Each structure stands twice: as structure tokens, then as C-alpha cells.
């Protein structure tokens, strides 16, 4: 299949000429580390550890297993695994066949996955037998019945009748032969990743090895990462930043410690026991660790770098962290489609840059523009636009989205609003032009939930909005115009939605309205609705 590439050829030539791209694949890098440090521990998860040499061997065996069940060059394989060593094995092995990996959040459920599997053209689906007490195998059977193109169900974590057993298949396979393996070009599409879009359906961004690994190398260089680093990943590997953290560790020849589920106290224990030096997190993670019972009793002196991103952290949270914890706290702005565009630096005065996302990073250009792509004046609010070696190649099968997001010079509109706040070029995010809810760094489009709720017999009109929250950035508030006088309770709405959408998309409060504020063309004015709910909260608090 031919995939879209919105990167102008002259920019691609420039990035190659300036040697900004590594011109390697992920397996190329892993093989180098395995040759140099075969016995060094690469990844630790709750079930054990694997060395670089053993990880390479398992990946080569997984590639042969995939090949034996019919996975071929150009196939798309969707991987939905929690933070386990198996994720790295299942993902990286695909490149040895020339297949494309589509990683998805392990929290996603049938409604979300059905769309993503079909839209990506996935012929295989890798999933855990069980995680968080959920029956993934049962869900997979239903997904396959609805999608005849999904020919292979591959289960990790134990056998299931009628499905391919990933663990047993890898163990029984020999490493793929040199004659059978594929060496992908670093400019080829190697991964798909779904994000939310203005149409309400997730958009599918395409990345090559070069666009992916530039972001990895950039962060490792600027954060002075070495082989002595110990990364802690509790952000899902199935989301972009978790995946990037995996690649950061491999590129450095360092060690990655995985948590399947974030628990503040457990995270502090791992920091202490594993001597963790580097953590990527969202503000919710910072707040959680700061407020964990007995947090002050843990030895966190090993921490060197903690990066917060994915959502804006409250200045009070940043100051509290700087007062009580160790290491450099870096604020970062990035996105699935663009890698990392700005972040604060080790050399910055924290009091000066707190509350900003820092300034543009090496080779990543940043503009703040109006609706006509014209630069706004310094200090004025506009939309952030980026250009650079880590910008995605474009949205799969979405001409309208590509036309709206890219211009002919290769600039990409982020959908986020911001302004330059000082002479050093530090940027402050002021809002989002898109209507995406960002709960603890996990983003989704509210229409996904609203479409389901319109099938509820007691709902006339409904809108979900994000309400400000110190810990998570936003919490989900459901605004309902009922049929009749009675509004279902929060528990009833949650029960109606559960197992149809991920937990972080469930409502956390309910507000009743007689009507919703609308534009003349019938669109919900979400910013007006949000203000109305804030006014209600203020009145309740005062009383």
C-alpha cells in the first residue's frame, strides 16, 4: 500500500544532508547494543528482566513466529499490550518482516478498537489474555466477527483455544534467518498511531523510523542520557510518550523499568529500590507521588531528570515538586504527530520558566500563526505550528485533515494556542483550538462518548466537557438535557458506558440543563457551557 507523505522532498533532503536523521531502524540500534553489551539488563517488568542479547534473540524468534502464521511485508499488525517486555518483542519484531505496527492504548475497548482495526487495515491483532480483570480474548472474538480482514488473533500471557499463542510460538521458533528477514528503509512508514481529530473520529498518523528516532535522539542528547540511566515507565508503551521512552532506553543502552499500572507509592518504591534516574510523566503523576502516604520516607536521591508533559502542570504543583523532590524538573511540549517541539532546559532559572513549555528545540522550528498562516506579533495568542525532522508524514487516508494541518512548506498546525512570553522565546500554552478533553495526559474527543449516550432512552441532548482539575488537568463533566425531568445518576451513566469506552473517558460528574448553548448553525458552544458549569460550582462553593 502506498501511504501519504506530506514532507516536502527538499526538507527531507535537507534533514538527510545535515545528518539530523539517524538513517537506522530500531532493530539496527538494538542489534548494536546487543553486540556491545549482550549481558546488560535492557528491560525489567513485574515478571522478570531481559538482557540486550536475550531481547534481540526473542525479537528474532518472534519475527519467525509471525512469519510462520502468515504475517508478511506491508501487513498492519495492531498491538494492544500493557507495559511488559512482550510489548518490545512484539513491536520491534514486525520490522524484520517489513510489517507496520499499530500500537494502541491497552485501556481501549471494542467500540474504539473496531474503528481502529478497520481503518488501519489490520490483518492481525496482538493482545493480553487478561489485564485489569478484563477478558481481551472475548473482546477479540467479537472484533474478528465484525471484521473479516482481521485474520489472526494473537494472545500473549497464556493459551486461548482457537488463537495463536504468542509466548509458545516465540519459544518454539528459531531466530528468523538472514535470507527471510527484511531490512526496512529508515524512511518507510514503520508505525501507525491514532489520535483524536476535529471530526470526532480518531486520526491515524504515520511515522517513519527517521521521524521517530529524531525525537528520541534529540531528547537523549539534551537530557544528557547515558548508558547509566535507569528509566521508569508507567506511561503506557501503547501511547506515544511511553513508546518513545522505550526507544530512549534502547538508544542509550540503558535500563528500562516498567510499571503495568501507575500507583504513586509503588512508583516511589521503584525509584528507591531500582535507583531510578529518569521519569517521563504527566502532572497527575507528579501530584500522585507528592501526595502518596509516607512520600517523604522514600529515598529519591537517585532522580536526575523528571519530565512533565502531556498536559499543563499547575505552577503550584511544579513549585511543590521543586521544593520536595530531587533532580531537574523539565516542562515539555510535544505531541504524537510532531515529537518534541519545546521544553525547558537544565540551565534555566526555574522561577522564570515555571508555567511555560520552554523554547523551541534543536532543528524543530516553531511559529505562532493566525488562521491564514500569518505570524502573530510577539506576545499575541495564536496557533502553534511546527516544522522539523520529527513531524509525522501525514494522516492516513484523510485528505481533509492533511489539507487543514499542513501547508506547502511543510509546516504543521498543532491545534494548540499559545504565545511567546519573554525575549528568550519561552512559550506559554493558553488553550486548544480543538475540542479535545485532556484528562491526565490522555486525550479524547467528547463526541466518541456523546454518540453512545444519544442511544440512552432518557437523554435528549448531551455534551461532555473538560472541567479544570489540579491533579489531572481536566475531569469529565457530562451536561445533559433529559427527556422529561429525571436525569440518570452518574453511576447509571457509567454503567451504560462501561466496556464500550476506556475508563478515562467515563463521566465523573453530571449537570442537568434545560437546553445547551448552541451556535446559529447548531454547534454546541462548549466554552460557554464550561463557563456555566464553573459558575454553578462557584455558587455551590459559596453556599
Q: 3-state DSSP call for residue 279?
A: strand
Radius of gyration of the chain (CA): 23
Residue 197's pLDDT is what? 43
Q: What is the pLDDT of residue 287?
A: 83
Is residue 67 a contact partner of residue 245, using CB atoms and an 8 Å limit?
no
Grid coordinates of 176 = 528468523
pLDDT value at position 164?
A: 98
Q: Are strands 305-308 and 278-281 parallel, antiparallel or unpaired?
A: parallel
The model carries a pTM of 0.86
Please choose, from the candidates 233, 231, 229, 251, the residue with its C-alpha nearest in 3D space to the C-alpha of residue 241.
233
C-alpha cell at 174: 528459531
Residue 464: what pLDDT? 92
Tell me the H-state helices in 6-104.
Answer: 9-17, 26-36, 52-68, 85-92
Got the DSSP string for 50-78? EEHHHHHHHHHHHHHHHHHTT--TT-EEE
Q: Residue 113 corresponds to which cell in the numbers above?
A: 478498537
Task: State the residue for C-alpha cell 453511576.
Answer: 491
Could you give the C-alpha distances from 11 to 14, 20, 251, 389, 414, in angstroms and in order?
A: 5, 11, 25, 8, 19
* CA 151 from centre of chain: 27
Integer angstrom CA distances of residue 123 from 76, 80, 88, 104, 148 = 6, 14, 20, 15, 9
Q: What is the pLDDT of residue 306?
A: 96
Of the candidates 267, 303, 269, 296, which has an alpha carbon nearest to the alpha carbon of residue 284? 267
Say which CATH architecture domain 446-542 belongs to. Answer: 2-Layer Sandwich (3.30)
Reported for 536-542, long-range contacts at CB under 8 A and 24+ positions apart, including other chains, are 536/511, 537/467
Burial of 339 (0-12, 13-18, 19+ CB in 10 A): buried
Domain(s) of CATH 3.30.300.30: residues in the chain: 446-542
Q: Where are the domain boundaries for CATH 3.40.50.980 in the chain?
A: 25-185
What would the CATH number be for the domain defined by 25-185?
A: 3.40.50.980
Entry field: residues in the chain: 543
Beta pairing class for 203-208 and 394-395: antiparallel
CB 336 within 8 A of CB 415: no
What is the pLDDT, as a whole number, of residue 432?
A: 66
Alpha-carbon gap, residue 113 to 90, rounded angstroms: 18
**Cβ–Cβ < 8 Å for 409, 391:** no
Q: What is the DSSP string of 433-481?
A: SS--EEETTEEE-THHHHHHHTTSTTEEEEEEEEEEETTTEEEEEEEEE
Distance, in Å, from the CA atom of 281 to the CA atom of 441, rounded to the nearest integer, reads 9
Are 135 and 222 spatial neighbours (Cβ–Cβ below 8 Å)? Answer: no
Burial of 283 (0-12, 13-18, 19+ CB in 10 A): buried
| Residues contacting residue 280 through CB under 8 Å, at least 6 positions apart | 231, 233, 235, 241, 242, 244, 245, 307, 309
* DSSP structure class, residue 394: E
342 membership: H or E segment, kind and range: strand 339-343
Give the integer Cα–Cα distance in Å for 285 and 289: 6
- Helix, coil or strand: residue 161: coil
Average pLDDT per block of 10 residues along the chain, 543 residues long: 93 98 98 98 97 98 98 98 98 98 94 95 97 96 97 97 98 98 98 69 93 98 98 94 96 98 95 98 86 93 92 76 91 93 92 90 96 95 95 97 96 92 90 77 82 86 90 94 91 93 94 81 74 90 77
> Which residues are CB-contacts of 196 (< 8 A; sequence separation ≥ 6)?
202, 203, 434, 436, 443, 444, 445, 448
Amino acid at each position: 500500500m502506498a501511504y501519504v507523505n506530506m514532507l516536502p522532498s527538499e526538507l527531507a533532503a535537507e534533514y538527510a544532508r545535515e545528518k539530523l536523521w539517524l538513517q537506522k531502524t530500531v532493530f539496527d540500534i538494538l542489534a548494536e547494543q546487543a553486540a556491545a553489551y549482550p549481558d546488560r539488563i535492557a528491560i525489567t517488568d513485574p515478571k522478570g528482566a531481559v538482557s540486550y542479547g536475550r531481547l534481540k534473540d526473542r525479537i528474532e524468534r518472534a519475527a519467525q513466529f509471525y512469519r510462520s502464521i502468515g504475517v508478511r511485508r506491508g501487513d498492519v499488525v495492531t498491538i494492544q499490550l500493557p507495559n511488559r517486555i512482550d510489548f518490545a518483542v512484539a513491536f520491534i519484531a514486525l520490522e524484520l518482516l517489513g510489517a507496520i505496527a499499530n500500537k494502541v492504548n491497552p485501556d481501549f475497548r471494542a467500540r474504539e478498537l473496531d474503528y481502529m482495526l478497520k481503518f488501519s487495515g489490520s490483518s492481525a491483532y496482538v493482545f493480553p489474555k487478561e489485564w485489569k480483570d478484563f477478558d481481551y480474548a472475548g473482546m477479540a472474538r467479537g472484533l474478528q466477527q465484525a471484521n473479516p480482514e482481521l485474520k489472526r488473533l494473537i494472545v500473549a500471557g497464556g493459551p486461548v483455544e482457537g488463537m495463536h499463542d504468542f509466548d509458545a510460538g516465540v519459544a518454539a521458533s528459531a531466530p528468523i534467518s538472514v535470507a527471510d528477514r527484511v531490512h526496512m528503509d529508515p524512511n518507510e512508514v514503520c508505525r501507525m498511531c491514532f489520535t483524536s481529530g476535529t471530526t470526532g473520529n480518531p486520526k491515524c498518523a504515520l511515522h517513519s523510523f527517521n521521524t521517530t528516532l529524531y525525537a528520541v535522539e534529540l531528547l537523549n542528547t539534551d537530557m544528557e542520557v547515558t548508558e547509566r540511566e535507569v528509566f521508569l515507565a508507567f506511561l503506557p508503551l501503547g501511547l506515544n510518550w511511553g513508546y518513545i521512552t522505550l526507544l530512549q532506553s534502547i538508544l542509550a543502552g540503558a535500563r528500562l523499568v516498567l510499571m503495568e499500572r501507575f500507583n504513586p507509592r509503588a512508583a516511589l518504591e521503584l525509584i528507591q529500590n531500582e535507583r531510578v534516574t529518569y521519569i517521563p510523566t504527566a502532572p497527575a503523576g507528579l501530584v500522585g507521588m507528592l501526595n502518596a502516604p509516607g512520600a517523604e520516607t522514600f529515598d529519591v536521591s537517585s532522580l536526575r531528570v523528571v519530565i512533565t508533559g502531556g498536559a499543563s502542570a499547575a505552577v503550584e504543583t511544579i513549585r511543590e515538586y521543586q521544593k520536595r523532590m530531587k533532580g531537574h524538573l523539565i516542562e515539555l511540549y510535544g505531541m504524537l504527530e510532531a515529537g518534541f517541539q519545546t521544553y525547558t532546559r537544565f540551565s534555566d532559572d526555574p522561577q522564570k520558566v515555571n508555567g511555560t513549555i520552554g523554547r523551541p528545540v534543536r532543528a524543530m522550528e516553531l511559529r505562532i500563526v493566525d488562521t491564514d498562516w500569518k505570524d502573530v506579533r510577539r506576545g499575541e495568542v495564536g496557533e502553534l505550528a511546527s516544522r522539523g525532522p520529527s513531524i509525522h508524514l501525514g494522516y492516513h487516508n484523510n485528505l481533509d485533515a492533511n489539507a487543514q494541518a499542513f501547508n506547502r512548506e511543510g509546516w504543521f498546525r498543532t491545534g494548540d494556542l499559545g504565545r511567546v512570553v519573554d525575549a528568550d522565546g519561552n512559550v506559554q500554552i493558553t488553550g486548544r483550538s480543538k475540542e479535545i478533553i485532556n484528562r491526565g495526559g490522555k486525550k479524547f474527543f467528547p463526541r466518541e462518548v456523546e454518540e453512545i449516550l444519544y442511544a440512552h432512552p432518557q437523554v435528549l441532548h448531551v455534551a461532555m466537557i473538560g472541567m479544570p482539575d489540579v491533579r489531572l488537568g481536566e475531569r469529565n463533566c457530562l451536561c445533559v438535557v433529559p427527556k422529561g425531568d429525571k436525569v440518570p445518576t452518574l453511576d447509571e451513566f457509567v454503567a451504560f458506558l462501561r466496556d464500550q469506552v476506556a475508563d478515562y473517558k467515563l463521566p465523573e460528574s453530571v449537570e442537568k440543563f434545560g437546553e445547551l448553548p448552541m451556535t446559529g448553525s447548531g454547534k454546541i458552544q462548549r466554552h460557554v457551557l464550561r463557563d456555566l458549569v464553573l459558575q454553578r460550582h462557584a455558587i455551590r462553593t459559596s453556599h
